Chain A
Amino acid sequence: MKEEFRSWIMGESDPMEELLDFSQENDLNREERRKLTVEKLRVLQEDPDEQQKVARVRGRFTRFYYLVAVLSCVFLSCVLLFSISMLPQYGEENPRTTEVKDRYIEKGVEETGAVNVVSGMILDYRAFDTLGESHVLFTALICVMILLRIDRKNQRTGYEDYYTIRSDVYYDLSKDSILCTMSRVLLPAIVLYGIYILLNGQNSPGGGFSAGAVLGAGMILFSAAFGMQTADRFFTMKACKVTIFVSLAFYSFAKGYVFFMGANGFENHIPKGTPGAILSGGMILPLDIAVGCVVSVTMFGFYSLFRRGSIGMDVDYAHYSSKPGKAKGGRQV
């Protein structure tokens, strides 16, 4: 047992090997592995002692795996429950946080000009947080693009891309009458609601992130119901790049300006407006719009990249009309 455990730790052998799924290996390895497994099984069938030994070892390792899995789950649950027990009770006055909270509630409207204190907090007091969050979304979009994008430079002739694009064309839902009719009814409401909570973020619950998510979901519904080609008319790669760049640059410069002025003791001369009006809250409304643009473009970009590997009409569909396997300028896989 000790010897087997040592060899398992060192990575020399795995007693559970036959139970694992190797269907992801490429053909050659799969064939070799199959031969190897067949050979092993033949030896096993002829030798009862070996059979018993393998069964014993496998049983032990199965129990070991179960034990480790259960122990790690219990440990994790204990850590989480312990940290929950340190949280204050729901709705309880907690001395450690009341100082900031009282300040926000008492002076928030006066200092930020926004009736919705949450908006005032995330886009004025803690605007730097929101800037970081927008950049995290942007980075996530770039990562998905690196992993999933198929464009003219790297489009391939292999089965994988072929079936991605083929199934996108084949499973186009734009002929589905239920989806189309319901979208015609629902889409105006969804988009209008998104724009409302985007523009009214400083007065009512909502703001950049919620509105961006709603608008992004609306765009996803639009492209699912009326076809990706329809969405391509207004949402291209260039539009995506320009929107995200302009929004993030505007946010950075506007907030950088305010921070610079504040840190150097200049008076903040951006008008705050009447609390409760649409044009109130100083910089909150433009910043809300910038964040909303970034979030909605990111949501739709995720969907587009997941669905067909490109944002906008990047892919040369004619390239995929010939049968796969024949190189036609693209990289052979």
Chain B
Amino acid sequence: MMPSEILTVILLVLLIVCAVAVNVVRDLLQSVIIFMAYSSIMAVIWILMESPDLGITEAAVGAGVSGILFLMTLKKIGHGDAGDLTDAAEEDPGTVRKEASGTIQEKEKR
């Protein structure tokens, strides 16, 4: 086998591993990161299959923008820090509100 063929086979195996891992992993954040890795591998495979323009698009959209959009969504639905903030607000609304308004006002002044 040619070296490029061996590389293709290795990448395809990695692709399948990533595709399965996206579904199996419990944590959504890890799942998004594995999905971005999947897109990066796919971009290399596109280049090996001699379609570099698809590779560029896959790297920019799949590994970059869509991953970022997933991460923003995770933040919105309260995975991680944002969720902790909302929980804290439910337990003790007063302090968090005060703290929050203080931060925003400080930002305003600058």
Chain A contact residues, CB within 8 Å of chain B: 118, 159, 162-167, 169-172, 197, 205-207, 209-210, 213-214, 216-217, 220, 299, 302-303, 306-307, 317-318, 320-324
Contacts and interface: CB of A to CB of B under 8 A. Distances in A.
B85 to A, nearest CB: 7
Interface residues of B, number: 29
A163 B104 contact: no
A259 B76 CA distance: 46
Interface string B79-108: 001100110010000000110110111011
B57 interface: yes
Contact of A118 (B53, B68, B72, B101): B53
Contacts of B17: none
Q: What DSSP secondary structure best describes chain B's contact surface? A: helix
A159 B96 CA distance: 12
Interface of B: 51-53, 56-57, 60-61, 64-65, 68-69, 72-73, 75-76, 81-82, 85-86, 89, 97-98, 100-101, 103-105, 107-108
A118 B69 CA distance: 29
Contacts of B86: 159, 163
Nearest to B47: A205
Contact of B85 (A167, A317, A318): A167
25 contacts: A118-B53, A159-B89, A163-B82, A166-B103, A205-B52, A205-B56, A206-B53, A206-B56, A207-B53, A209-B57, A210-B56, A213-B64, A213-B65, A214-B56, A217-B60, A217-B64, A217-B65, A303-B68, A303-B69, A303-B72, A306-B73, A317-B104, A318-B108, A320-B104, A321-B104
A307 B51 CA distance: 33
Contacts of A321: 101, 104-105, 108
Contacts of B104: 165-166, 169, 317, 320-321
Given A118-B51, A213-B60, A217-B64, 16 more contacts: A162-B100, A163-B82, A167-B75, A169-B104, A169-B107, A170-B100, A205-B51, A205-B52, A216-B65, A220-B65, A303-B69, A303-B72, A322-B101, A323-B97, A323-B101, A324-B97
Given A167-B75, A167-B82, A214 B69 contact: no
Nearest to A299: B65
Contacts of B57: 209-210, 213
A197 B52 CA distance: 11
A150 to B, nearest CB: 13
A206 B82 CA distance: 38
A306 B76 contact: yes
B53 A302 contact: no
Contacts of A214: 56, 60
Contact of B108 (A118, A216, A317): A317
Nearest to A118: B53
A84 to B, nearest CB: 14
A167 B52 CA distance: 39
B72 A306 contact: yes
A96 to B, nearest CB: 20
Contacts of B82: 163, 167
Contact of B61 (A164, A166, A170, A213): A213
Nearest to A217: B64
A324 B82 CA distance: 16
A45 to B, nearest CB: 30
A67 to B, nearest CB: 19
A166 B60 contact: no
A227 B105 CA distance: 17
A218 to B, nearest CB: 9
Given A205-B56, A213-B60, A216-B60, A302 B108 contact: no
A165 B61 CA distance: 26
A162 B100 CA distance: 9
Contacts of A318: 108
Contact of A163 (B52, B56, B85): B85
B69 A197 contact: no
Nearest to A324: B97
Contacts of A118: 51, 53
